Amino acid sequence: MKANVYHGARDVRVETVSDPVMKSDGDVILKITKSAICGSDLHFYRGNIPIDQGFVVGHEFMGVVEEAGKGVKNFKKGDKAVAPFWVSCGICSNCRNGYPTACTGGGGCFGFGEALGGFWGGQAEYVRIPFADTTLEKVPDESLDDSVIFLGDIFSTAYFCAEWGNIKPGNTVVVFGDGPLGLLATASAKLFGPSKIITVGHHDFRLDLAKKLGADHVINSKNGDHIEQIMNLTHGEGVNVALECIGSNQAVLDSIKVARPGGTISFIGFMVQELPIPMLDFYLKDLTFRGGVCPAKNYIRKLLPLIQNGKIDPTAVITHDLPLADTPRGYELMDSKAENAIKVVITP
């Protein structure tokens, strides 16, 4: 099959690799109908997190069941399914407690190298899904791929960030980040009935989309002091909720600055650096700080109706739909933001 293979920093290539084969009765081979490039793929692309050379990457994908192992109960050939980015066994104590991304029974992340389980990813024609009954989630045959694929990662993650922000009706919310996650977190925050959403980024074309998705105000941090602007927009009080959607130490520190007393900071950015927290500010404002990796599996069925009922349209962030052979160009676009790229999806 053809697949997108990691070779080093800024070096991914679409090559012919061996077809995936069943390794256990619980496996499914999924024929990919749509995959995507995630912002977190840029970590290995930029060389921040080296992974194994020759590894098939991609952790945001969906498809139809090509082959189901004898032990698979919930899926048969032809079923349409979305994979969350994490493989989960469903029976270890972390899986049973609702934390499939902490699976200790053989789980791991698709497309992130041997260190995270060694599961080849979905920027490919086919992928092996271990523990298919618990890892995969079925979606209705009539679902449009572009609408539901992000349930496996960025929409679920963005919604999770808003949910963990504990937004109450009438609250003020700031979203840090104008990437696909920040944009979908803006749209998700809107569902909780805040009085004001302020989205902070540094690309006007993305902030324009943030406005369409629900931001009442947008701030381009290249134009003046964004902290001062947030404080002005909240009459000097600060926000009830800050959503950190970048994975940036500075955005976490900014969140602490702009949160009003009793506020909540929710973060889902992929934090790869250590961060000293100004604990006295935190202490004196009685803040709540929560976040982490989204247990996306838990959100696929929960969020599907929001798409079906038109409450949210995750396709809004798609700017490019490329054939599999052009996946390396998709990485270049997501990395450089050339052609006003926001989210690149891949059709094998």
Residues that bind Zn ion (CB under 5 A): 38, 40, 88-89, 92, 95, 103, 105, 153
CA distance 196 to 185: 14
In angstroms, give the least distance from the CB of 83 to Zn ion.
Answer: 12
User: Which residue's CB is nearer to Zn ion, number 153 or number 254?
Assistant: 153
Cα distances (angstroms) measured from residue 50 to each of 46, 118, 334 = 9, 14, 18
Smallest gap from Cβ 143 to Zn ion, in A, equals: 20
Q: Which is nearer to Zn ion, 112 or 176 (CB)?
A: 112
The minimum distance between CB 320 and Zn ion, in angstroms, equals: 17
Q: What is the C-alpha separation between 87 and 36, in angstroms, rounded?
A: 17
Residue among 117 and 328 whose Cβ is closer to Zn ion: 117
Closest CA to 152 of 61, 259, 35, 36: 61
**Minimum distance between the CB of residue 176 and Zn ion, rounded to whole angstroms?**
18
Shortest distance in whole angstroms from residue 102 CB to Zn ion: 8
| Minimum CB distance to Zn ion, residue 94 (Å) | 6
- Token pair for residue 32? 């990919």
Q: Report the distance separating Cα 314 and Cα 180, nearest Å.
A: 9
Nearer of residues 88 and 255 to Zn ion, judged by Cβ: 88
CB of 315 to Zn ion, least distance (A): 17
Are 263 and 281 spatial neighbours (Cβ–Cβ below 8 Å)? no
> Which residue, 35 or 40, is less far from Zn ion as judged by CB?
40
CA distance 315 to 317: 5
Please count the CA atoms within 13 angstroms of the CA of 133 that sit on its side-chain side. 12
Phi and psi, residue 195, nearest 5°: -85, -25
Listing from the earlier edge strand, what are the strands of the sheet with 11-16? 11-16, 2-8, 55-56
* Residue placing its CB nearer to Zn ion in the complex, 69 or 247: 247
**Three-class SS of residue 284?**
helix
Q: Residue 93 CB, nearest distance to Zn ion (Å)?
A: 8
Sign (positive or negative) of CA dihedral 286, 168, 158, 152 = positive
Nearer to Zn ion, 105 or 328 (CB): 105
Q: Which helix (H) or strand (E) holds 346?
A: strand 343-347
> Which amino acid makes up residue 278?
P
| Cβ contact 32:46 at 8 Å | no
To Zn ion, the closest distance from the beta carbon of 62 in angstroms equals: 14
Q: Output 127 or 233, the one with its CB closest to Zn ion.
A: 127
Number of H helices, E strands in the chain: 12, 18
CB nearer to Zn ion: pick between 83 and 139: 83
Complex with Zn ion: residue 86 or 176, whichever CB lies closer: 86
Q: Least distance to Zn ion from the beta carbon of 270, Å?
A: 8
Helix runs in the chain, H state only:
41-45, 93-96, 132-135, 145-148, 154-164, 180-190, 204-213, 226-233, 249-258, 279-284, 297-308, 327-336
